[in-house]
Amino acid sequence: MSLNKEHEIHNRRRGRNTGVGLMLGGFVVLILALTYVKITQTDFSNAPVNAGTSEVSD
């Protein structure tokens, strides 16, 4: 039996890995889209002017 022979189990693993990879890719795209929408929809005009700058003032 050749060592390179493709077993049915390899196909199954490949299918599983491809599926998980696609889902992770989709998740990344979704987070990116969510972040974009959240940032563009938030009104930052009322945010404190000095927010986050006091620690590094010197």
Partner 1 sequence: MTDVPHTQQYEAELGDYFALLKPRVMQLVVFTALVGMLAAPQSVHPVIGFASILFIAIGAGASGALNMWWDADIDAVMRRTAKRPIPAGKVEPREALYLGVALSGLSVMMLGLSANLLAAFMLAFTIFFYLVIYSMWLKRLTPQNIVIGGAAGAFPPVIGWIVATGSFSVEAWLMFALIFMWTPPHFWALALFMRSDYDDADVPMLTVAHGRPATRRHILIYTVLLVVLAIGTGFTAVGGYVYLTTAVILNAMFLLGAYRIWQRDEDDAEGDNYAVERKFFRLSLYYLFLHFGAILVEATLRGWGLTGGGVS
Kindly state the smallest distance separating residue 47's Cβ from partner 1, in Å. Answer: 19
* Min CB(48)–partner 1 separation in Å: 23
Hey, how many other C-beta atoms are within 10 angstroms of the C-beta on 10? 10
Cα(31)–Cα(15) distance, integer angstroms: 24
Site string for partner 1, 2-31 (x = CB under 8 A): -------x--xx-xx--xx---------x-
Phi, psi of 48, rounded to the nearest 5 degrees:
-60, 135
Binding site for partner 1 (CB under 8 A): 9, 12-13, 15-16, 19-20, 30, 33-34, 36-38, 41
